[in-house]
Amino acid sequence: MNGSQHMAQPLGFSRRVFLKASAAVGGGLLISFALPGLMRGVQATEGAFAPNAYVRIDRDGRIFLTIQPVEMGQGTYTSMPALIAEELEVGLDQVIIAHAPADDQRYANPMLGFQVTGGSTSVPANWTPLREAGAAARILLVAAAAQQWGVAADSCKAQRGEVLHPTSGRKFGYGELADAAAKLPLPESLPLKEPKDFKLIGTAAKRTDSPDKVNGKAVFGIDVHPEGMKVAAIMLCPVVGGTLDSVDPEPAMAVRGVHQVVRTDNSVAVVADHMGAARKGLAALQIKWNGGANAKVSSAQMLEDIKAASMQPGAQARSEGNVEEALAKAAKKLEVTYHVPFLAHACLEPVNCTVHVRKDACDLWLGIQVPARAKAVAAQLTGLPEAAVQVHNHLIGGGFGRRLEVDFVADAVKIAKQVDYPVKVIWSREEDTRHSTLRPFHYNHLSVGLDEQNRPIAWTHKVTGGSILARWLPAGFIDGVDGDAVRDACGPYAFPNLSVHYVRHEPPSGILPAFWRGVGHTQNAFMVEGLLDEAIQQVKADPFEYRYPLLQQHPRAIKVLELLREKSGWDTPLEPGRGRGLALTHCFGTFAAQVAEVTVSPNGEVKVDKVTSVVDCGIAINPDSVVAQMQGGTIFGLTAVLYGNITFKDGQVEQGNFDTYRMLRINETPVIETHVVASSESPGGLGEVPTVTIAPAVVNAVFAATGKRLRSLPIDPEELRQA
Amino acid sequence: MAHVLKINGTEHQVDVDDDTPLLWVLRDVLGMTGTKFGCGMALCGACTVHMNGNAVRSCVMPVSAVVGAEITTIESVGETPAGKRIQEAWLAHEVVQCGYCQSGQIMSATALLARNANPSDSDIDGAMAGNICRCGTYVRVREAIKIAAGQSPVARAEG
């Protein structure tokens, strides 16, 4: 059994897509498509076509695209429509984009089998289905036109929302053909364009969401204002997992504009006409909490606990060759431990949710990566059937995994149940940080054995940490192995003997291990690329040349590295105190490598001067968006490398606002250069890729500059300070 | 108590406590949601507006302190020459990702450009370091300001 495959290649995505056409409600042509259940443990039922996305063309020729992945900055409301529009033969200026409603069946992520935006899956998962949806619609529209004209379909041509018959000069708009097309049977096969014929894919596109985001018109979840709405400031028990003891509401009620103080099992909320009054009211309260079992939880103790847990053998996730034998005969052996801290997401749009609970219905307004889960939790807490809960999804002001969770939806619904109007609950920045779900703390043991020629012959990696999947997607937690936690545990390298193990060690209950941009790769690539660099430095090898023999099965990786060496100026010497570091990843179907160039000051402060990236993500649907994601993902990762660290004392998160949970700013941002390899391979994911490589690239650069090896994050300048 | 505020050239009367931050008056009382809440402590810049042309953080600006001032928000900054240039540069250069911080970025950038037609990199750092972007659009923020100022941005390598 190969544990690392549990999530890394989920789920053997079948390219087979079932399409069906039907008359759209209100007239027109509707194309919906469905995929068989793909999740392990979920039965694929052929013949039961549960549609999961829609192209709708009305009689006026308006083209509506309902997009399953939600826009959170990654450009999905530009790339997803481009896939459909490419085959439908319309421009992006001709389509109207709608958020998908909450529905795990109709709007399942084709790769993951339920409604979710995450794991950098949007492009790879929808690459074929959305083009086929566009092609099916176009074929039917052309057939309808050909039928009406009494000509052969192949004598007609679709172009910018019209079907033309060039020899006679006749044409129909798509809207005029919608009803007729809806009555035609779907074509047997859906031939797709060759890449050389792409008009939209591969061309820099203007983002469809940009205009409203530069003039204040874009509506995020936090911006909604349903009729009669009031706003609430919330405070949760400062000790994670603790409960409310008591509170006297009077000081808050004395604040003008405050309507109500709402108590739940674990929170207090002050409801007011405006957030100024709500926050003032909340600040006036003296709240008594019950810290409960976690009242003494501290980071120091958690570190001791996870260290101890990591000594267990763990569940085997992967094994190739005979690693014990190979290690025993290795000429050199490096055995190390690495660890990475808890991290919060710190989306700039703080967690918020607007809820209106009535006797027979419930509405939610928010930005969420998992709308159907939001619906389910609201139904559960209100006792209403799911059909009575409506989720109005919105633009997301930063997801990064935080909005893959519905803990805050539950908190908001508990408050909304106690008021008889819509209430918008907004977390303060401090509450957002202190009650974030967290990228799990990992404490890993790694080793590498080298032969007489200094080549790696054995590689072991034991991951210890809290399991995200055991809670979030139990089907992905198999035989004691969290498939996400062991992703990339050996990098993309062909080590002849290797083993990967996983020890599940949960933090105190109430601390929720959760996905964070880059998921399990971020932790493991830091350690794998770090240890590989340790071996390379010890044997004084060239970091590029040393990797090539280990990458013979990945010619794309070699090409990426070769280009990176040239573009990064790797072979140009640097002055003392400066250094370059290399890191490579193969994740989300994409190959990428980065060189970071750093300066380390005598007092140990690390300044990242320049980051050069080369990426082969297959066909780049929107090449400009690829560059933007490489820039942004690098900066997101740099914040974690330099500053990111959530710690606990007396059961409480010690960080709060941006003064204590620091973010990289423009004046700290390095020069970032991105080179995209032209490729005709199927597209890979991208949003998380640079976040994976930047940490090891920087740490390896710090070693080059100082000779000091960092095996934990964030970088501690004290460790680098010159004596 | 009642305050008369001049926002985007229009007078509004609002009846809130003196210490109510301008941010919440804009968002919750007047329904102008383009100005965003990020931190409440003037640490992130998402709530940036102009007060008599200067960039200020509305989350810590009591409403009583802005009576009599000309307040400009993202909703009308495009009517100023600098604001229009900045918005156009933002679109031409595809700065935005999630977009949540961008109202504040644009307000800070506009205030910079209005008083400094030819900002250097360190001028940009000084004016923009108070605006956090979690998506990491800083590279393009810098380039777009240069474009708006008629400078050539550092070329982005592609290909």
Asked whether residue A213 is domain-assigned, the answer is no
Nearest to A499 by CA among A336, A326, A309, A711: A326
Same domain, yes or no, for A261 and A123? no
Amino acid, res. B159: G
Asked whether residue A216 is domain-assigned, the answer is no
Nearest to A587 by CA among A531, A633, A621: A633
> How far is residue A632's CA from residue B133's CA, in Å, rounded to a whole number?
9
- pLDDT digit string (tens) for A549-582? 999 999 999 999 999 999 999 999 999 999 999 9
Tell whether A228 is within 8 A of chain B (Cβ).
no
Residues of chain A found within 8 Å of residue B158, distances taken between Cβ atoms: 623-624, 627, 674-676
Nearest to A61 by CA among A175, A171, A137: A175
> How far is residue A200's CA from residue A183's CA, in Å, rounded to a whole number?
29
What is the model's pLDDT at position A66? 83
Residues of chain B found within 8 Å of residue A659, distances taken between Cβ atoms: 41, 43
Give the residues across from A287 on adjacent strands: A247
- pLDDT digit string (tens) for A253-306? 999 999 999 999 999 999 999 999 999 999 999 999 999 999 999 999 999 999
Residue A22 pLDDT greater than 50, yes or no: no
Same domain, yes or no, for A542 and A674? yes
8 A C-beta contact, residue A526 and residue A640: no
Q: How confident is the model at residue A5 (pLDDT cuts 50, 70, 90)?
A: very low
Q: Say which of B43, B74, B158 has its CB closest to residue A658.
A: B43
Amino acid, res. A335: E
Same domain, yes or no, for A383 and A513? no
What is the model's pLDDT at position A38? 23
> How far is residue A17's CA from residue A11's CA, in Å, rounded to a whole number?
15
Same domain, yes or no, for A129 and A176? yes
Angle between helices A689-706 and A623-642 (to 10 degrees): 50
User: Do residue B38 and residue A257 have CB atoms under 8 angstroms apart?
Assistant: no
Q: Which domain holds residue A322?
A: 300-342+438-721
Asked whether residue A432 is domain-assigned, the answer is no
- Identify the domain boundary among A426, A457, A485: A426
Asked whether residue A132 is domain-assigned, the answer is yes
Same domain, yes or no, for A183 and A134? yes
Residue A47 pLDDT greater than 70, yes or no: no
Q: Say which of A213, A397, A669 has its CB closest to residue B138.
A: A669
Q: What are the C-alpha distances in Å from B99 to residues A215, A657, B105, B137?
A: 10, 20, 10, 10
- State the number of CA atoms in the 13 A half-sphere of A91 facing the CB: 5
Between positions 317 and 376 of A, the ones with CB within 8 A of B are 346-350
8 A C-beta contact, residue B140 and residue B93: yes
- The sheet carrying A315-320 orders its strands as A315-320, A498-504, A456-465, A442-450, A332-340
Q: Say which of A225, A663, A667 has its CB closest to residue B125.
A: A667
Query: Which residue of chain B comes nearest to A690, CA vs CA?
Result: B136
Instruction: Please give the interface size between A and B, counted as residue pairs whose CB atoms are below 8 Å apart.
Output: 216
Cis peptide before A101 (omega within 30 of 0): no
User: Do residue A398 and residue B100 have CB atoms under 8 angstroms apart?
Assistant: yes
Residue A39 pLDDT greater than 70, yes or no: no
Asked whether residue A147 is domain-assigned, the answer is yes
Same domain, yes or no, for A633 and A660? yes
This prediction's pTM: 0.92
Between positions 60 and 79 of B, the ones with CB within 8 A of A are 73-75, 78
Q: Say which of A216, A428, A632 has its CB closest to residue B135.
A: A632
> How far is residue A499's CA from residue A486's CA, in Å, rounded to a whole number?
11
- Identify the domain boundary among A171, A206, A241: A206
Same domain, yes or no, for A596 and A631? yes
Same domain, yes or no, for A197 and A113? yes
**ipTM for the complex?**
0.96
We report the CATH number of the domain holding residue A313 as 3.30.365.10
Same domain, yes or no, for A49 and A144? yes
Residue A69 pLDDT greater than 90, yes or no: no
Other C-beta atoms within 10 Å of A409: how many?
Answer: 26
- pLDDT digit string (tens) for B14-67? 999 999 999 999 999 999 999 999 999 999 999 999 999 999 999 999 999 999
Could you give the angle at the alpha carbon of A471 between the alpha carbons of A468 and A473, nearest 5°? 85
Tell whether B106 is within 8 A of chain A (Cβ).
yes
Between positions 676 and 695 of A, the ones with CB within 8 A of B are 676, 678
Asked whether residue A433 is domain-assigned, the answer is no
Asked whether residue A173 is domain-assigned, the answer is yes
> How far is residue A412's CA from residue A423's CA, in Å, rounded to a whole number?
8
Q: Say what percent of chain A tops pLDDT 70.
A: 93
Q: What is the rounded average pLDDT of the residues A148-173?
A: 96
Same domain, yes or no, for A165 and A267? no
Greatest Cα pair distance, chain B, in angstroms, is 60
| Backbone phi, psi, residue B115, to 5° | -105, -10
Same domain, yes or no, for A71 and A92? yes
Query: Which residue of chain B comes nearest to A676, CA vs CA?
Result: B159
Interface test with B, best of A215, A400, A427 (most B CBs within 10 A): A215
- pLDDT digit string (tens) for A347-360? 999 999 999 999 99
Structurally, chain A folds into a number of domains equal to 3
Lowest mean pLDDT among A29-33, A117-121, A317-321: A29-33
Could you give the angle at the alpha carbon of A132 between the alpha carbons of A131 and A135, nearest 5°? 90
Q: Are strands B2-7 and B70-72 parallel, antiparallel or unpaired?
A: parallel
Tell whether A475 is within 8 A of chain B (Cβ).
no
- SS3 state of residue A79: helix
Tell whether A218 is within 8 A of chain B (Cβ).
yes
* pLDDT, chain A, mean: 91
Tell whether B55 is within 8 A of chain A (Cβ).
no
DSSP classification of residue A617: -
- Identify the domain boundary among A206, A233, A257: A206
User: Do residue B99 and residue A231 have CB atoms under 8 angstroms apart?
Assistant: no
> How far is residue B51's CA from residue B74's CA, in Å, rounded to a whole number?
12
Nearest to A668 by CA among B129, B141, B105, B131: B129
8 A C-beta contact, residue B53 and residue B8: no
Q: What is the rounded average pLDDT of the residues B68-87?
A: 98
Could you give the angle at the alpha carbon of A9 between the alpha carbons of A8 and A12, nearest 5°? 160
- pLDDT digit string (tens) for A645-704? 999 999 999 999 999 999 999 999 999 999 999 999 999 988 899 999 999 999 999 999
Lowest mean pLDDT among A55-59, A72-76, A718-722: A55-59
> Which residue is listed with tokens 């190979």?
A326
Q: What is the rounded average pLDDT of the residues A390-399?
A: 96
Asked whether residue A215 is domain-assigned, the answer is no
| Backbone phi, psi, residue A262, to 5° | -105, 135
Same domain, yes or no, for A556 and A690? yes
> How far is residue A643's CA from residue A359's CA, in Å, rounded to a whole number?
47
> How far is residue A134's CA from residue A192's CA, in Å, rounded to a whole number?
9
> Distance between alpha carbon A283 and the CA centroid of its chain, in Å?
34
Residues of chain B found within 8 Å of residue A72, distances taken between Cβ atoms: 98
